[in-house]
Amino acid sequence: MEIFTNNLFDWIILISLLIGATYAMKIIGKEKITFRQDSYELQFGGLSFMIANWWTIVSQTESCVRFERTDTRYDWFATFTYFPDHGNRTLPQLLEEKLNLENIEFDEDVVFETDSRVLFRDSAIQEYLQELIRVEGKGTQSVINRVYYDIYIARPLEDKGYFIFESWSSVLNGSLEGPFFEETLAELSFISGEEAQTPNS
């Protein structure tokens, strides 16, 4: 009893953390079951995205959308961005430029994919975004910050522009929103009844 009394503040912190973790796991478990039923459609860059309803749009312009979790407040966000001109740079060059801009160095054991048939289910999207690179894994930002980063760079057919879809989180949170980010892009399709129209078309 004396040990408990002397460390009462530590016990309160521990119990609070356990309650918070249990609540978060309960929410996440429910989300995995209800993702398809509870998603909403976002139209961006001539494309249709199915977005998990627990992703909050915190900023949106014609060329960029940013999502965050405002219910759990854990360390994660995602952005979908369209750039109007690739400037004749290759996808590897665009990737290198982006990683240098963000000061990110990936670990060696990352997921690397360039086959649109692996990443997208819709055959029309597979053809439209056949030029792409996806890299996913742990890395270090600015030398000291450990991050879990997932990035898709895709260049549409007959388009001078390109898309960057990216998901950022701490290493501990990398496995929480990552599957939903991947599923959102796997379900990518054209807006019903319309041809692709990029923001500057």
Number of neighbours of residue 80 by Cβ within 10 angstroms:
23
CA–CA separation, 38 vs 53, rounded Å?
A: 6
Q: How far is CA 150 from CA 25, 111, 177, 196, in A?
A: 22, 9, 11, 24
Per residue in 60-106, pLDDT (tens digit) is 999 999 999 888 777 899 999 999 999 999 999 999 999 999 999 99
Mean pLDDT, rounded, of the chain: 85
Burial 141-157 (b: 16+ CB within 10 A, else e): eeeeeebbbbbbbbbbe
Fold of domain 39-190: Protein Transport Mog1p; Chain A (3.40.1000)
Number of neighbours of residue 67 by Cβ within 10 angstroms:
24
CA–CA separation, 70 vs 52, rounded Å?
A: 13
pTM score over 0.85: no
Per residue in 32-45, pLDDT (tens digit) is 555 667 789 999 99
